[in-house]
Chains A and B, each alone.
Chain A
């Protein structure tokens, strides 16, 4: 019974490149959340998705960031034209259904922008 999987675990990009972060939720989970953790800070909510739908993207920057959770395959967080300020740990969490059930976190992807 695999947990939440994220890849890559570490990603290095130069300014202006694109970063793609992948998240495979736990089996049977159809809710995915993305969070960002800047150095020495707590986690901040970015976006909440169900299969094929974005439910809440209120925490996501309006430009350069996008997320999807297709019918088949992992959820993808995409950052275009990365800047140094995007350097952070990005965590995804999956949940079986809504209603306060705990979210299971992946190991995170640490993005470094040079």
Chain B
């Protein structure tokens, strides 16, 4: 069975603070993909990153960084020096090589950055 857990329902930080959004997943597949999407108040879904299960290198993109650890089945997302524009709901998602390849989403973390 596939499962994505985002235990943090809501997080509030003051602007310029760093914040980490947690994502823990479960899957029996050995080949799978992990994603992060951002949903700003306007409602659209913005793709942030994809990581395949064979690539455990951490990635940094500007103020965003991702920490993938297979040993703990986690794919955490850190925003450094947060800004008000980072306020959104962030979804972690999983897809697997076999089957329909659809995305299985976590319930999301609502991040509010206070100016």
Contacts and interface: CB of A to CB of B under 8 A. Distances in A.
Are A and B part of the same complex? yes
A25 interface: no
Q: How many A residues are at the interface, by size bracket? A: 20 to 34
B77 interface: no
Contacts, number: 63
A108 B34 CA distance: 22
Interface residues on B, range: 20 to 34
A62 interface: no
B95 A100 contact: yes
Contacts of A45: 100, 102-104
- Say what secondary structure dominates the interface of chain A: strand
A43 B105 contact: yes
B100 A55 contact: yes
A85 to B, nearest CB: 19
